[in-house]
C-alpha cells in the first residue's frame, strides 16, 4: 500500500475526478504481481542452487543447443511461409468477393480456438504414413510426421492467424485513391503492389512474422506430438525443459527456461516497437 501511495504522490498531474484510481490500480498491481511478476522472478531465485559454470554448462549442452537450432530454424521457416500465405489470404479476404468468404475468414481463427493437443494429434495422424496427406508423400518417399518438416507444418498451423490478422486491418484501411492515382498514371498492377501497397503493409508483415515466430518458438502442444522427440534431430526447446522437469532436474530446467524467457522478452520488445509503427499507419497519421 505504501508503494501505491508513493505511486500516487509522484503523479501530481493526475487530477482526474473519476473515482476508483486507488482501488483499480491496487487490484491491478497486486494481481499482476501475484500471478505474473513474482512467479516469473522466482525463476531467478531458484537459480541460486546452481553455480555460474554449471549454468553455462547446462545452457550450452550439445543436446540443448541442437534443440535451440531446431526450434529457431523451424519457427523461422514456418513464419516466413506464413508471411507469404498471410499476405495472400489477407488480400483475397479484403479485396475479392467469392463464395464461402465469410466461412474462410472465420476459419482463420481456428488455431486460436482449437486446443493445441487436439491440433497436435490430428496433424500427426494426418501427416503420418497412414494419414490422408502423409500417405501421398510416403509414396514418393517423403516422411513428414516425426521430422523437421512436420514441426514446421505444426508451426505454420499455429502461426497463420497472427499474420493474417496483422495485415488484414491495414489492407482494409488502405486508401484506394493512391492505387487509383498510380493506375491513372499508367503504373502496372505489380508496380502498384510493390511501390504503393507493399511499403504500407511491410510493418504489419513484420509484426505478424514476429508474433508467429514468438508463438512457434514457445509452442508445445501442437508441436510435441508431430516432433517425435528424437534427440539431436526433432527435439524442440520446450520439450527439453519438459524432460528435465520430468527427471526432477529443476536447476537445468530453470536455466534453459531463463534463456527462453530472455529470448521472448527481446521478441516482445521488437513487437512493441513494430506495432506502435503499425498503429500509426492504421490510425492514418
Partner 1 sequence: MREKALKIILIFIGAAFIVIMLIMPLLTVIAYALRQGWNTFFNAISDPYAIKALKLTLFTTIISLVVNTVFGIFAAWAITKFNFRAKQILITLIDIPFSISPIIAGLIFIVVFGRIGWAYPLLEALNIKVVFAVPGIVLATIFVTFPFVSRELIPLMNSSGSDEEEAAALMGAKGFYIFRKITLPHIKWSLLYGMILCTARALGEFGAVSVVSGHLRGKTNTLPLHVEILYSEFNLTAAFSVASLLVIIAVIILILRNLIEYRLKRGEND
**Per CB under 8 A, which of residues 95..134 are in contact with partner 1?**
96, 98, 100, 102, 104-123, 125-126, 131-133
Question: Of 206, 174, 208, 165, which Cα lies nearest the Cα of 192?
Answer: 174
Q: How many helices (H) and strands (E) does the chain have?
A: 16, 0
Is residue 52 a contact partner of residue 263, using CB atoms and an 8 Å limit?
A: no
**Per CB under 8 A, which of residues 211..270 are in contact with partner 1?**
214, 217-221, 225, 237-238, 241-242, 245, 250, 253-254, 257, 260-261, 264-265, 267-268
Question: Of 219, 223, 63, 64, which Cα lies nearest the Cα of 149?
Answer: 223
Between 74 and 123, name the residue whose CB sits nearer to partner 1.
Answer: 123
Between 203 and 238, name the residue whose CB sits nearer to partner 1.
Answer: 238
Least distance (Å) between residue 21 CB and partner 1: 5
Between 49 and 175, name the residue whose CB sits nearer to partner 1.
Answer: 49
Is residue 162 a contact partner of residue 78, using CB atoms and an 8 Å limit?
A: no
Least distance (Å) between residue 202 CB and partner 1: 19
Among 2, 3, 6, 17, binds partner 1 (CB under 8 A): 17
Between 38 and 191, name the residue whose CB sits nearer to partner 1.
Answer: 38
- Residue with cell string 531458484: 46
Least distance (Å) between residue 36 CB and partner 1: 6
**Sign of the four-CA dihedral 146, 149, 151, 157:** negative
**Per CB under 8 A, which of residues 130..159 are in contact with partner 1?**
131-133, 153, 156-157
Is residue 208 a contact partner of residue 83, using CB atoms and an 8 Å limit?
A: yes
Between 134 and 203, name the residue whose CB sits nearer to partner 1.
Answer: 134
Least distance (Å) between residue 5 CB and partner 1: 13
**What are the two backbone dihedrals, phi and then psi, of residue 21, each rounded to the nearest 5 degrees?**
-65, -50
Cα distances from 148 to residues 74, 145, 166, 201, 236, in angstroms, run 7, 8, 27, 30, 10
What is the enclosing helix (H) or strand (E) of 21? helix 21-32
User: For residue 55, what is its C-alpha cell?
Assistant: 549454468
Between 86 and 203, name the residue whose CB sits nearer to partner 1.
Answer: 86
Between 147 and 222, name the residue whose CB sits nearer to partner 1.
Answer: 222
Alpha helices in 33-175 (DSSP H): 38-46, 52-59, 62-95, 101-107, 110-113, 116-126, 132-139, 148-173
Least distance (Å) between residue 88 CB and partner 1: 6
Stretch that binds partner 1, among 50-58, 85-93, 140-148, 200-208 (CB under 8 A): 85-93
**Per CB under 8 A, which of residues 166..205 are in contact with partner 1?**
189
**Per CB under 8 A, which of residues 18..57 are in contact with partner 1?**
18-21, 23-25, 27-28, 31-32, 35-40, 42-43, 45-46, 49
Q: How many residues bind partner 1 (CB under 8 A)?
A: 93
Amino acid at each position: 500500500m505504501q508503494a501505491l501511495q508513493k505511486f500516487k504522490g509522484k503523479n501530481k498531474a493526475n487530477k482526474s475526478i473519476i473515482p476508483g484510481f486507488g482501488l483499480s490500480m491496487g487490484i491491478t498491481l497486486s494481481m499482476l504481481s501475484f500471478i505474473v511478476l513474482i512467479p516469473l522472478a522466482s525463476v531467478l531465485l531458484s537459480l541460486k542452487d546452481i553455480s555460474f559454470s554449471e549454468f553455462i554448462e547446462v545452457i550450452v549442452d550439445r543436446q540443448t543447443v541442437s534443440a535451440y537450432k531446431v526450434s529457431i530454424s523451424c519457427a523461422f521457416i514456418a513464419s516466413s511461409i506464413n508471411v507469404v500465405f498471410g499476405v495472400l489470404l489477407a488480400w483475397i479476404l479484403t479485396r475479392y468477393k467469392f463464395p464461402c468468404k465469410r466461412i474462410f475468414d472465420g476459419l482463420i481463427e481456428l488455431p486460436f480456438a482449437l486446443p493445441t493437443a487436439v491440433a497436435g494429434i490430428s496433424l500427426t495422424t494426418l501427416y503420418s504414413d497412414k494419414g490422408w496427406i502423409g500417405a501421398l508423400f510416403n509414396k514418393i518417399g517423403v516422411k513428414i510426421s516425426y521430422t523437421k518438416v512436420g514441426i514446421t507444418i505444426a508451426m505454420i498451423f499455429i502461426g497463420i492467424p497472427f499474420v493474417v490478422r496483422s495485415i488484414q486491418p491495414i489492407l482494409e484501411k488502405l486508401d484506394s485513391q493512391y492505387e487509383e492515382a498510380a493506375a491513372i498514371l499508367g503504373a502496372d498492377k505489380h508496380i502498384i503492389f510493390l511501390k504503393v501497397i507493399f511499403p504500407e503493409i511491410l510493418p504489419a508483415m513484420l509484426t505478424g512474422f514476429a508474433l508467429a515466430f514468438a508463438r512457434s518458438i514457445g509452442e508445445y502442444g501442437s508441436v510435441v506430438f508431430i516432433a517425435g522427440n528424437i534427440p539431436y534431430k526433432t527435439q524442440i526447446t520446450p520439450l527439453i525443459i519438459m524432460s528435465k522437469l520430468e527427471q526432477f532436474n529443476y536447476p537445468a530446467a530453470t536455466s534453459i527456461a531463463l534463456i527462453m524467457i530472455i529470448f521472448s522478452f527481446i521478441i516482445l520488445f521488437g513487437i512493441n516497437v513494430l506495432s506502435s509503427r503499425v498503429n500509426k499507419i492504421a490510425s492514418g497519421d
